Each structure stands twice: as structure tokens, then as C-alpha cells.
């Protein structure tokens, strides 16, 4: 057990906790759960710290999951399907690349997302037309209160846009230990995302291999997002909000170029577009800024603190609310 250690996080914020415990094996996990320590006070599970903004010292125990292992379990029930299990502590991008190298297909569009396998079902990570829910078969997790193991089926995870049961009803109640993915032997590229199809067409690639598709997506991603090793961030800080059809029509009259598309419950608006309209894109408050190439992303301009991130997030949210009557919801978790 290490005390007051700096907790790794991609925003590069000074992050500390009363206790910081790294768990690498199931035996270590069961011993920790059996000790009762995690029910004696607040506890936070972390993977890569790429979706958490540490605005305060965490008065409790941070548990960093670092178990490793990826294995092919065997065929899935449908023809050509495969079940692949990955430990929660595996780096997500390493897992995706391992799958590509082994010709286990379906995860290519999710390449280069920072973080771990264990966090992928928590917020149902998604990018370039694919979400984790599309390839997750089941999730093995341990209940913190009882130490009991439970396997959640895909349906039981209650996946939604950047959301799941682990972020809602069962928030902070389970430790994800491994995730089983349903992949495919055959490769059917998902080119539904316009920018991906355009980039491949521009490169003269009509029938991409899995590797070409992943490389194209990684290049697109890093043309718009800051690489964590170069500039601190938590990726998209805000979610794209869904508003009613009435609300959308009113906004459309005032802003004919508003970026939006039909979604369940109304219209999903591009939060980045709204933030840009408020004039915040590229600006900073203290040492925290709105990234110049993608207004959804808040970045560390150097030496930024969690309080500065929270202050900028508040200022942006208030201006979007005042101008568009839309409440921005955070995608990142503020501690």
C-alpha cells in the first residue's frame, strides 16, 4: 500500500489520495475485498485515469487495477464469431492491436482510445461509428460490498451513449475484472463514419485491411485530439446533448448551420459546435484551455490544477446554457 502517491491521469493534474493500492492478481483483489478496507470509507477504482479529473485530494482509497492477460476462449454461438477475454488492466489500445494482429475482427474503429479494458464497459467507449457495446459479450466484476463475483451479460450492462449500469445504478459498486468480447473471424470494415470513408477514398483504398482501417482511424483521431503524452486532457470533456425536436427546430431557425442529427428522444447537438459559437475555442481560463482543434476537449496548458479545469468547465457550460438554452453534461468524471 502506498500513501499520498501521485495518481496517474492523462490530464496531468496533481492527484493524491489517502491510500493508493495497485491490484495485479485475483488473489490480491480477493484479499483486499476480504479485508473490508473498501467499505470503511470512500473508494475509487482507476484504470488509466484518462476520463477522471482530479479536482481535489481524494479522501479515501484509490484502487488501481493492473491485471493482465488476453485469451481466445473459443467460437461464439453464431457462425464465424469468436469470444475473446481480456483482463481489466490491459491497455485498451494494446488489446485492439492484439486483436488486429490475431485477425480477431470488430474492434478496429476503437483503436487508440486511451485507458484500459476495464473502463470500456463503464462509459461504453465509442468512436468512429462503433461502441464497446457492439462487441462486448459479458463483463466479469466483483461487488465491493460483498466480494461476490458476478457476470453481467451485454443486456444487463444497460449500455447507452457513453453510459452503462456501472455509471448509473451500480456506480462505484463493482470492480470490473475482465471483459469478454464477441469478435469475428471474417473482416467486414465499418465505414459508416463519413470522415473514415473519405480518408480511405482519398488514399485510394477501396477495400481496406483491418490494419489499414485502424491506421486511418488513428491518424484521423490524432489530427483532432491532443496526444496525452504531448498535452494533458481527458478527451471529450462534454457529451453531445440530446434536445427535443421542438427545441432543435427553434435553434435551427436562429442558427441554420447548427450541427445536429436525429437521435432517440429528439436531436443530438454537437456540443463542440455550440462551444465554438460562444467564442471559447482556443481560449483559456488560468492554465486550462479549450483545445484549438476540437472545442469539446479541455486541455492542460501547463501546470493546470483540477480547480482550474472545473472553473473553465463551469464558464463554458454557463455560456452554452445562456446562448442555446442547452445544459451541457460532462463526459469526464470530476472527483
The contact set with ligand FAD (CB under 6 A) reads 10, 44-52, 65, 88, 113-116, 118-120, 122-123, 125-127, 166, 175-176, 225, 228, 233-235, 333
By C-beta, is 177 or 324 nearer to ligand FAD?
177
By C-beta, is 308 or 331 nearer to ligand FAD?
331
Question: What is the DSSP annotation of 160-212?
Answer: BTTB-TTTTTTTTTEEEEEEEEEEESS------SHHHHHHHHHTT-SS--HHH
CA distance 71 to 57: 37
Active-site residue, 162 included:
yes
Give the CA distances from residue 105 to residues 6, 30, 139, 198, 315, in Å, rounded to whole numbers and listed in that order: 37, 33, 19, 22, 42
Q: How many CB atoms lie within 10 A of CB 102?
A: 13
Q: How far is the CB of 95 from ligand FAD (least distance, A)?
A: 11
Q: How far is the CB of 256 from ligand FAD (least distance, A)?
A: 29
| Of the candidates 146, 121, 145, the residue with the CA atom closest to the CA atom of residue 132 | 121
CB-based burial label for 167 (10 Å; 0-12, 13-18, 19+): middle
Q: How far is the CB of 304 from ligand FAD (least distance, A)?
A: 14
- H or E, element range at 250: helix 245-254
By C-beta, is 76 or 131 nearer to ligand FAD?
131
By C-beta, is 235 or 289 nearer to ligand FAD?
235
Q: How far is the CB of 211 from ligand FAD (least distance, A)?
A: 19
Q: How far is the CB of 99 from ligand FAD (least distance, A)?
A: 16
Cell 483504398 belongs to which residue?
205
Q: How far is the CB of 323 from ligand FAD (least distance, A)?
A: 26
**Given 50, 90, 162, 182, the catalytic residue:** 162
By C-beta, is 45 or 274 nearer to ligand FAD?
45
- Measured over the CA atoms of residue 332, residue 213, residue 225 and residue 242, the dihedral's sign is negative
172-195 per-residue burial string, b: 16 or more CB within 10 A, e: under 16: eebbbbbbbbbbbeebebbbebee
CA distance 106 to 275: 33
**Given 66, 108, 308, 331, the catalytic residue:** 331
Active-site residue, 331 included:
yes
By C-beta, is 157 or 183 nearer to ligand FAD?
157
Which residues are marked as active site?
A: 162, 236, 331
Amino acid at each position: 500500500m502506498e500513501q499520498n502517491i501521485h495518481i496517474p491521469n492523462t490530464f496531468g493534474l496533481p492527484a493524491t489520495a489517502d491510500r493508493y493500492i495497485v491490484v495485479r492478481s485475483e488473489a490480491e483483489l480477493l484479499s483486499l475485498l476480504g479485508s473490508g478496507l473498501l467499505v470503511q470509507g470512500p473508494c475509487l477504482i482507476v484504470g488509466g485515469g484518462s476520463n477522471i479529473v482530479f479536482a481535489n485530494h481524494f479522501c479515501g482509497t484509490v484502487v488501481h487495477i493492473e491485471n493482465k492477460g488476453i485469451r481466445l476462449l473459443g467460437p461464439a454461438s453464431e457462425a464465424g464469431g469468436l469470444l475473446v477475454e481480456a483482463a481489466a488492466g490491459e491497455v485498451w489500445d494494446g488489446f485492439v492491436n492484439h486483436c488486429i494482429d490475431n485477425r480477431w475482427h470488430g474492434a478496429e474503429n476503437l483503436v487508440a482510445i486511451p485507458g484500459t479494458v476495464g473502463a470500456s464497459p463503464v462509459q461504453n467507449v465509442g468512436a468512429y461509428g462503433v461502441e464497446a457495446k457492439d462487441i462486448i459479450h459479458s463483463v466479469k466484476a466483483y461487488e465491493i460490498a460483498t466480494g461476490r463475483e458476478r457476470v453481467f451479460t451485454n443486456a444487463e450492462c444497460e449500455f447507452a451513449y457513453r453510459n452503462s449500469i456501472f455509471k448509473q445504478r451500480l456506480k462505484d459498486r463493482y470492480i470490473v475484472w475482465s471483459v469478454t468480447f464477441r469478435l469475428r473471424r471474417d473482416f467486414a470494415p465499418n465505414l459508416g463514419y463519413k470522415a473514415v470513408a473519405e480518408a480511405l477514398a482519398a488514399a485510394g483504398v477501396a477495400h481496406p485491411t483491418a490494419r489499414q482501417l485502424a491506421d486511418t482511424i488513428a491518424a484521423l483521431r490524432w489530427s483532432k485530439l491532443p496526444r496525452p503524452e504531448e498535452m494533458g486532457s481527458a478527451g471529450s470533456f462534454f457529451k453531445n446533448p440530446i434536445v427535443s425536436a421542438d427545441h432543435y427546430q427553434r435553434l435551427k431557425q436562429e442558427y441554420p448551420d447548427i450541427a445536429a442529427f436525429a437521435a432517440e428522444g429528439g436531436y443530438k447537438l454537437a456540443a463542440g459546435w455550440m462551444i465554438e459559437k460562444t467564442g471559447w475555442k482556443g481560449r483559456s481560463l488560468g492554465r486550462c484551455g479549450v483545445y484549438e482543434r476540437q472545442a469539446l476537449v479541455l486541455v492542460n496548458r501547463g501546470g493546470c490544477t483540477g480547480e482550474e479545469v472545473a472553473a473553465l468547465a463551469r464558464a463554458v457550460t454557463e455560456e452554452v446554457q445562456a446562448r442555446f438554452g442547452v445544459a451541457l453534461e460532462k463526459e469526464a468524471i470530476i472527483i
